[in-house]
Amino acid sequence: MEKGEDTVNRIVIGIGGQGGYIVNNLLKLLKSKTGKTPKNEEFLIIDTDQASANACTEVEERRKIVLNRPDTILMKNANRWLPDPYLAAAGAGCGQHRIYGRAMYNVHRERIFSAIGTAASELRNRTGGKDFFILMVCALGGGTGSSMLLDIAIDIRDWISKQFGSQPVMFGIGILPSSKESVLPTGNALGALKELHFLMSHSKEIIIEDKNYSNPFKLFFLLGRDLQGQNRDEELERAIPRFLLDLGFLPGGMVETKGKWLDLNDLQNRARGYENRFDSLGYYECVFPSDKLFLFYDIEDEIPVVRQRLVEIEARTGDIRGKTDLQRGELERFEGRIRDVQREIERYESARGLLSHVNARATVDAKAKLDRAKKKLSDLKEGVFNLEIRVSDAEEEKRLMERKLERLDALKNKLLRDITSPENTRSYHQIELSEDEVRDLKKSREDMTNLSFLEIMRKLDREDEYFRWTHSPVNEGDVIFNPMVNYRHAIENTMTASYIDILNDYGFLTVDARGNVVNEEEKFGHFIAVLSTRADNFDDGRLGGGAFKSMVTERFAKDADVLKLDAPARAHSFAIYTLMIGLQPWAAGPGLPPRLREFEWIEKAYGESDFSKLQRHHSLFYGTNKPFSIITDIPYTPGAEEKNRDMVTSYWQSYEVIEPGVIWENVPIVLAQCLKMFDDLLVGLDIAGAIKNARVPDPESYSIANLTMLIHELENASKNMEKVKHWTKEAGRGFTHLKDELDELMSRLKGTDAGRPAEEKAEKMLRMIDDSTRNLEILLDRIDAMSNSFSNDIEVFVENARGFLGNIPSDATTSGVIRQITKAETEISRIRENSMKAVNGIKEMGGPLATLLSSLKELKSVLESEGGEAEDVVFEERKGTGVELPDLSLNLRRKEE
């Protein structure tokens, strides 16, 4: 974007404590860069907590909209639907109750709009432009921001559209709570996300009561406070303003760049089609610590100068102190002399008469002089006193200076430490310099200002390291894993290889030459990497932008761009900003973790609230029954406020943050689980059946060796029987779980407008269902046969063993042999006992398997009713080869997860 051509009016609104804090930071950075706020930008904060609003010192007072808590009568009158426990809030602001925030918004709506309207009108008058860009920032876990965000967004869009005749472009930034926060904010976040997703999924205009309920946001960025288990507040604090300013969302504070690049229109074009999905940002920066170095050198040079000057000052203040002591003595002496002279004058004057002469004029003159001296003397005495105080102050100040000098010294050491052993994070890497390098570079500090990052690193003979930290993140694709939320790009990280193999076999995903899973459905919309540095820091050959783009589009995103931004001011830094547009935060399938890991803890916290407490996590549509009813097709009862409120709460409780069409993507995952379980079960049955192959020595050929061998066989058989017993128990549990998943999936498919899957996919799913059904039928047959033969096999084995033991000659029964016989009999009774339980377990599998079969058939009918006839496919038997009994726990996750 060319600077100076921008006539788009920009309004940044921070809602709630964290929103206000971010806007304040943004302003601080903006002012430090430009010294003032650009004329086409306005910054507002809306808060319900006076203290946090006061802390936003950079925001103009008239742009602070602080909403006071109304009394309960007014609150109830304005919000008939508001339950009594929420008529007042505990703590500051909205007390983290979204429902209270909604009620506050209803009370203060006019005030909010008057303030925003004034700012918008002033902008319009200043710039003459009618286009508006509005950025809204808030924490999704709080009470104020998360509750007012949507209403403000809807209302402000309508207001600006009507007022200025053009719809504003609106972006949102929502901060997700960390996993360490309490239940209230964490649960709020899911409430807010549900409502936000609900609105975002309505792309067409829905005008009800003169209000448009369609998605107001072009892009909505989700950012997490807790990344990979570590608090990242500091990074968020740094990254958000840098992102917004450097990338020109707020061009007033943009880093000076050459040429045109990604502007709002470009960004909107890239986001087109993904407006209904969430987005995120990523930020990575590698810097050469030139600023720190220059500061270190300056301080290093300054310290001896200051120290010398302080020594001089100390000497001089010492002199002055000596002088003032002297002067004080002098003044006292003169005071005495003045008194003497005055006495002398008095005596002189008193000697009047015939024999004396008094020069009156002289005495008057002398008196005047003495008076003046006396007056001055008293002033001087005060002056000396003041001087002494000032000398003391100067000495104290000097001591303070010495302490400051010590601080400066400490700062110097800290800087050296920062330079020689920087604390690098995932998103910030500072080149580490040795003390020798720090010393060497000082000689060429003047040149260093003009040298590029690359040239300095070349000079240090560390060119490879430069490329490793600046170009490799792009070249090797690391930047894609660095968003400011916990996002899993692919299920391969969460799913065991056997499921991936099954899905691969049926063509739901592919595995590339390097073993990476490629799944078109998992890809997010658009990935944009903006590399910002001075032009001479780029090496296109090493950057491999094309290869990166191919890699990203092949595995992670449907489209990708790598944009180079020549920023002359960034001679010694290499920043990589990433935008991930169109994320899919939901889980790839039942039993799998959500891609957006934040869902793990926000769903848990939300689930901890019972129905009556759930309403504190929600805001949208409370009190606006008609729009809710029209949009959701759920009828409401006019006047029954409580009933309608509960209806809204109930709707939100069951609302899932997922696109209805995506539910079909879960079908292959559940079917893969079925297939894997059936495979495992078949293998397990083979292993269980293998017990009949246990060897028993010929009863006629007794020897100690044969007796030992029999005991060994009995022990093995006993252990296997124990395992089979547990395994059958696990299988029963696994089938029940699988059945539940299937039922849930079907109810979701029936309950939502999931549409129908593509023809090709439907065919694949039908193939999977058919295979599962066949496997299930085979299993049922095997179980039936096995439950009959298993007892006999065990009985034969036990009888043979008993026969061998009974034929042991009496003369061979030494005490050792008797001990062995006792051991063998114990194992035999254990085998018998466990085998009975195992047989029961195998028999009991039949029940869940039969219900599973009916569920599969039902799923098939749902699929066929949606998608038509499927082809018959040839059943291909899978057979495991492991000697251990397979894991039937249906845990899709990898162990390392």
Partner 1 sequence: MEPLSIGILVVVLLIVVEALVMLVKFKVDKTLLLMPIAGLICAIIAFVLNEYRAEILASLDSSVQDVVIYVLLVVGVILGLLGLVIWFKGEKEAKKIIDTAKGIDSAVAGIDSDMRGSEMELEHFDDEMGAIKEKVTDYESKDKEV
Determine, following the binding rule CB under 8 A, whether residue 749 of this chain makes contact with partner 1. Answer: no
Per the DSSP assignment, residues forming a β-bridge with 518 are 510
Give the span between the Cα atoms of 639 and 624, in whole angstroms: 12
Q: Which residue, among 801, 804, 792, 800, has the nearest Cα to 835 in the 3D structure?
A: 792
The residues in 264-293 that bind partner 1, with binding defined as CB under 8 A, are 289, 291-292
**295 vs 780, beta carbon nearer partner 1:** 295
**313 vs 862, beta carbon nearer partner 1:** 313
Q: Which residue, among 460, 343, 328, has the nearest Cα to 382 in the 3D structure?
A: 328
Selected range binding partner 1 among 192-200, 297-305, 437-445, 453-461, rule: CB under 8 A: 297-305
Residue 881 to residues 201, 504, 682, 772: CA-CA distances in angstroms? Answer: 47, 20, 11, 20
Biggest alpha carbon distance in the chain? 173
Selected range binding partner 1 among 268-276, 299-307, 637-645, 692-700, rule: CB under 8 A: 299-307
Structure tokens at 758: 């593509």
CB of 244 to partner 1, least distance (A): 18
Selected range binding partner 1 among 391-399, 501-509, 739-747, 793-801, rule: CB under 8 A: 391-399
CB of 291 to partner 1, least distance (A): 4
The angle formed by the CA atoms of residues 534, 537 and 540, to the nearest 5 degrees, is 115
Output the DSSP codes for 583-630.
E--SBSSTTSPBSBTHHHHHHHHHHTS-HHHHGGG--TTTT-HHHHHH
The residues in 343-382 that bind partner 1, with binding defined as CB under 8 A, are 344-345, 348, 352-363, 365-367, 369-370, 372-373, 376-377, 379-380
CB of 20 to partner 1, least distance (A): 21
Per the DSSP assignment, residues forming a β-bridge with 622 are none
Does residue 534 contact residue 527 with C-beta atoms inside 8 Å?
Answer: no
**55 vs 411, beta carbon nearer partner 1:** 411
Selected range binding partner 1 among 61-69, 152-160, 396-404, 702-710, rule: CB under 8 A: 396-404
- Give buried/exposed letters for 17-37 (b at 16+ CB in 10 A, else e): bbbbbbbbbbbebbeebeeeb
**92 vs 320, beta carbon nearer partner 1:** 320
CB of 292 to partner 1, least distance (A): 5
Q: Which amino acid is at 212?
A: N
Q: Taking the CB of residue 138, how many other CB atoms lie within 10 A of it?
A: 29
CB of 339 to partner 1, least distance (A): 11
Q: Which residue, among 843, 124, 768, 829, has the nearest Cα to 503 in the 3D structure?
A: 768
Determine, following the binding rule CB under 8 A, whether residue 890 of this chain makes contact with partner 1. Answer: no
CB of 459 to partner 1, least distance (A): 21
Give the span between the Cα atoms of 320 and 311, in whole angstroms: 14
**283 vs 601, beta carbon nearer partner 1:** 283
Residue 816's Cα: distance from chain center in Å?
68
CB of 449 to partner 1, least distance (A): 14
Give the span between the Cα atoms of 487 and 279, in whole angstroms: 11
3 state SS of 713: helix
CB of 283 to partner 1, least distance (A): 18
The residues in 186-245 that bind partner 1, with binding defined as CB under 8 A, are none
Q: Which amino acid is at 804?
A: F
Does residue 86 contact residue 65 with C-beta atoms inside 8 Å?
Answer: no
Contacting residue, 25, 37, 106, 324, with partner 1 by CB under 8 A: 324
**169 vs 433, beta carbon nearer partner 1:** 433
CB of 308 to partner 1, least distance (A): 12
Residue 155's Cα: distance from chain center in Å?
28
Determine, following the binding rule CB under 8 A, whether residue 833 of this chain makes contact with partner 1. Answer: no
Sign of CA dihedral 101, 102, 104, 110: positive
Determine, following the binding rule CB under 8 A, whether residue 338 of this chain makes contact with partner 1. Answer: yes
The residues in 767-786 that bind partner 1, with binding defined as CB under 8 A, are none
Determine, following the binding rule CB under 8 A, whether residue 339 of this chain makes contact with partner 1. Answer: no
Give the span between the Cα atoms of 107 and 89, in whole angstroms: 15
Q: Taking the CB of residue 675, how many other CB atoms lie within 10 A of it?
A: 24
Contacting residue, 78, 107, 299, 460, with partner 1 by CB under 8 A: 299
**395 vs 476, beta carbon nearer partner 1:** 395
CB of 403 to partner 1, least distance (A): 10
CB of 533 to partner 1, least distance (A): 17
Give the span between the Cα atoms of 33 and 550, in whole angstroms: 37
Which x/- pattern over 19-48 shows residues binding partner 1 (rule: CB under 8 A)? Answer: -------------x----------------
Give the span between the Cα atoms of 251 and 569, in whole angstroms: 15
CB of 108 to partner 1, least distance (A): 37
Q: Do the strands 41-47 and 64-66 form a parallel or antiparallel pair, or are they unpaired?
A: parallel
Per the DSSP assignment, residues forming a β-bridge with 259 are none
CB of 387 to partner 1, least distance (A): 6
Size of the chain in residues: 897
Residue linked to tokens 């079925």 = 674
Determine, following the binding rule CB under 8 A, whether residue 422 of this chain makes contact with partner 1. Answer: no
Give the span between the Cα atoms of 703 and 111, in whole angstroms: 100
**406 vs 884, beta carbon nearer partner 1:** 406
**167 vs 363, beta carbon nearer partner 1:** 363
Contacting residue, 92, 107, 208, 306, with partner 1 by CB under 8 A: 306
Q: Taking the CB of residue 553, how many other CB atoms lie within 10 A of it?
A: 15
Determine, following the binding rule CB under 8 A, whether residue 55 of this chain makes contact with partner 1. Answer: no
Determine, following the binding rule CB under 8 A, whether residue 425 of this chain makes contact with partner 1. Answer: no
Contacting residue, 26, 415, 667, 863, with partner 1 by CB under 8 A: 415
**211 vs 390, beta carbon nearer partner 1:** 390
Please, how many CA atoms are within 13 Å of residue 690, restricted to the half-sphere of its CB?
15
Give the span between the Cα atoms of 199 and 631, in whole angstroms: 10
**399 vs 893, beta carbon nearer partner 1:** 399
Per the DSSP assignment, residues forming a β-bridge with 132 are 9
Which x/- pattern over 532-571 shows residues binding partner 1 (rule: CB under 8 A)? Answer: ----------------------------------------
Binding site for partner 1 (CB under 8 A): 32, 289, 291-292, 295, 298-299, 302, 306, 309-310, 313, 316-317, 320, 323-324, 327, 330-331, 334, 337-338, 341, 344-345, 348, 352-363, 365-367, 369-370, 372-373, 376-377, 379-380, 383-384, 387, 390-391, 394, 397-398, 400-401, 404-405, 407-408, 411, 414-415
